Amino acid sequence: MLVRNRNNKKNKNNKKSQQQQQQQQPQEKNKNEKSIDYEDEEDDEYSEDDEILKDLNECKTQNQMKRRIEKEKEMEEKENHFFEQIISGSLEHNYISGVAIFNYDGIVLASKNVDVSKFSKNGTDLQKYFERTPLGQCNKDIVSQCGRDLLGPGYIVEGVAKNSIYCFNNQTKCGFSLEKTKSTFILGLFNEKQDRFNAYKVIGCMADDFRGVNL
């Protein structure tokens, strides 16, 4: 009888222990589920932070590009103003009638008394007139077209140097000189009232000044 009571008590304790374990399992499951949900929420927060950081970086890059463009534009305006002052000074003594300054892409940087509308806004290939053959000579076929290409029919090349081309129109008595410097091309014009040799000299001196300061 005593043994039976002990067995019954033991069975009751086992049953109670099983019930407690069953009750704990759902609680632990709920804890795990809550933990997973919390981790998901953290992932969402990190994802939102990444998006915000990405937007900030894009905004920063756009602002940097904008400032860079503004700075380049400001430098270009200063450069153009500098060239305009030089051109105005070169025309003071009436040895030449007009000047246009191009960069190496053939784009007009500054000009005065020159019809630049005939030159492409995308650039004019001026470099080809100064290219040399393997023997170091100019390409006569290309150079001979320089006057007609730049100012129209009637302009004949009457002289060529390493960095200079001289053209004259016998009918109109007008002409020009095209000079190559370190980073620019200078087109200087003269009319029928101006001495062409003085004009060539003035334009050449301007080009030498440019070369002296690496322009």
Residue with the bigger pLDDT between 3 and 75: it is: 75
Is residue 4 pLDDT above 50, yes or no? Answer: no
In this prediction, residue 44 has a pLDDT band, given cuts at 50, 70 and 90, of: low
Q: Which residue has the tokens 């992932």?
A: 43
Is residue 3 predicted with pLDDT exceeding 50? no
Could you give the angle at the alpha carbon of 193 between the alpha carbons of 188 and 199, nearest 5°?
Answer: 30
State the angle between helix axes of 196-212 and 2-90 in degrees (0 to 180), rounded to the nearest 10: 150
CA quadruple 16, 18, 21, 26: dihedral sign: negative
What is the per-residue pLDDT for 211? Answer: 94
Closest among 185, 141, 149 to 167, alpha carbons compared: 149
Question: Helix (H, G, I), strand (E, B), or coil: what is residue 163?
Answer: coil
Percent of the chain with pLDDT over 90: 55
Whether residue 22 is predicted with pLDDT greater than 70 in this model: the reply is no
Distances from the Cα of 11 to the Cα of 15, 19, 21, 24, 171, angstroms: 6, 12, 15, 20, 130
Residue 102, C-beta contacts closer than 8 angstroms, at least 6 positions apart: 108, 109, 119, 124, 126, 184, 185, 186, 187
Per-residue pLDDT tens over the stretch 121-164: 999 999 999 999 888 888 999 999 999 999 999 999 999 999 99
Q: Are 182 and 214 in contact (CB under 8 A)?
A: yes
Helix intervals (H) in the chain: 2-90, 140-143, 146-151, 196-212
User: CATH fold of 94-212, please?
Assistant: Beta-Lactamase (3.30.450)
Model pTM score: 0.68
